[in-house]
Amino acid sequence: MAVIRDVMPAFDLLQPTSAADAQRLLEDIGDGAWIMAGGLDSFDWLKDRIKKPQALVDLSGIEELRGVRVASDGLEIGAMTTLTEITNHPEIKKSYSVLAEAVSVVASPQIRNQATLGGNVSQDVRCWYYRGGWPCYRAGGNICYADTPVGRNREHAIFGANRCVAVHPSDSVPALVALDAKFVVKGAKGERVIDAEDYFIGPELDITHINILQPGDLLTTIRIPNTYAGAKFYFEKIRDRNVWDFPLLNVASAIKLSGNNIDDIRIAVNAVSPRPMRLRNVEAAVKGKPATSETGEMAGKLAVQGAVPLQFNAYKIPLMRNLVKRAIAGVQEATWA
Ligand SMILES: Cc1cc2nc3c(=O)[nH]c(=O)nc-3n(C[C@H](O)[C@H](O)[C@H](O)COP(=O)(O)OP(=O)(O)OC[C@H]3O[C@@H](n4cnc5c(N)ncnc54)[C@H](O)[C@@H]3O)c2cc1C
Ligand code: SF4
């Protein structure tokens, strides 16, 4: 177990003032660099003495990474924009309210004042064995402590397990996937733009990483096209305590209706798999159908096909079935401001 009384291991603190300088520093230092945004996830790792980077690249002095820019074809949100700014932003509240709503239930007001969108989507899994410094698969070892007969796995995955059964914990991500957001990454070879759902990787591809970023990469911006601006939205998060807590499960949908019929839809869930899940099978099955509880019922059943519960998390199957149902049938009534 980690010793948490001792001081943090020493590191170099680098404070660039432009995204280009930050990227160059990341490239020069390579594997030994740690990107620090708001520090909510970063400081846990450092103070618990589990991650010991050579240098911290602190993004807090880079103005160009902050703020929301409204354009004719959508929004550009700088990676260093705080969750509070996103929740309060008039255009996000008006036209992309699913994101404002999702972000408004992250953690606590104090955390949202400091935490950034780039950090929220890039945060690591919350599995307590891994966070406690146990040498599991994700930490580079040869065992999963959560997936054993006595493992504590109530919060863990029902889909996508591959040695690691931890889940992706972000609340903002399903909303971003539902809005068809694009992540802009600055790297050694220039800039690349990645669909939100492709930013994340599962343990079958790389068990020690949660996203596609390579040493030298920096997430600079999240773009939201106006394709779903003003659509019907639904977001719901289930957690153990309503004061602040990570999701046991969350769902986000963006739906275009003709009358009560579903013309187009994007729907995603999180906290059920090591990477966020876009439910393409549900999207295909409900297009052209009315947004009713019958359609929602059918969608919920489809969504949980193939789920494999662990010893203590079978409750997530009916939970996911019902949330998906509500994300379709409840879309007419959903209001958030
Ligand atoms: C008590 C508590 C409760 C929480 N509850 C919730 C919750 O209910 N829902 C939820 O979604 N989250 C929750 N969180 C997680 C929290 O929202 C995230 O830790 C926070 O959003 C991370 O943002 P940050 O700016 O502090 O990032 P940091 O902690 O600085 O960074 C997080 C990770 O992202 C990487 N990173 C940050 N910015 C970039 C970038 N621009 N490019 C590439 N990599 C980057 C960092 O290297 C690090 O690995 C909780 C955290 C705490 C401490
Ligand atoms: S679920 Fe993943 S992070 Fe947790 S102990 Fe198993 S391998 Fe490690």
**For the segment 208-265, what is each residue's pLDDT rounded down to a tens digit?**
999 999 999 999 999 999 999 999 999 999 999 988 899 999 999 999 999 999 999 9
- How far is 228 from 267, CA to CA, in rounded Å? 12
pLDDT digits (tens, 9 = 90+) for 288-316: 999 999 999 999 999 999 999 999 999 99
Count Cβ atoms below 10 Å from residue 7 Cβ, excluding itself: 7
> Do residues 56 and 11 make contact, with C-beta atoms less than 8 angstroms apart?
yes
- How far is 107 from 103, CA to CA, in rounded Å? 9
Pick the range with the lowest mean pLDDT from 82-91, 168-177, 253-262, 326-335.
326-335
- Give distance in angstroms: CA of 89 to centre of ligand 2: 37
Mean pLDDT of 84-98: 98
Q: Which of 301, 302, 290, 273 is nearest to 328 (CA)?
A: 290
> pLDDT-derived band of residue 7, with 50, 70 and 90 as boundaries?
confident
pLDDT of residue 171: 98
**Burial zone of 193 (CB within 10 Å; 0-12 exposed, 13-18 middle, 19+ buried):** exposed
Per cent of the chain over pLDDT 70 is 98
Nearest CA residue ID for atom 46, ligand 1: 35
CA of 130: how far to CAs of 51, 118, 179, 293, in Å?
A: 11, 22, 31, 40
Is pLDDT above 70 for 318?
yes
Nearest CA residue ID for atom 8, ligand 2: 136
Going by their DSSP bridges, the two strands 55-58 and 12-14 should be labelled as parallel
Regarding the beta carbon of 120 and ligand 1, being less than 6 Å apart is answered yes
For residue 162, which ligand has an atom nearest its CA? 2
For residue 134, which ligand has an atom nearest its CA? 2
For residue 115, which ligand has an atom nearest its CA? 1
- How far is 165 from 146, CA to CA, in rounded Å? 7
Pick the range with the lowest mean pLDDT from 3-17, 50-64, 250-264, 296-310.
3-17
Task: List all residues 6 or more positions away from 197 whose beta carbon is below 8 Å from its beta carbon.
Answer: 177, 268, 276, 278
Residue to mutate, 14, 18, 42, ligand 1, most ligand atoms under 8 Å from C-beta: 42
pTM above 0.85, yes or no: yes
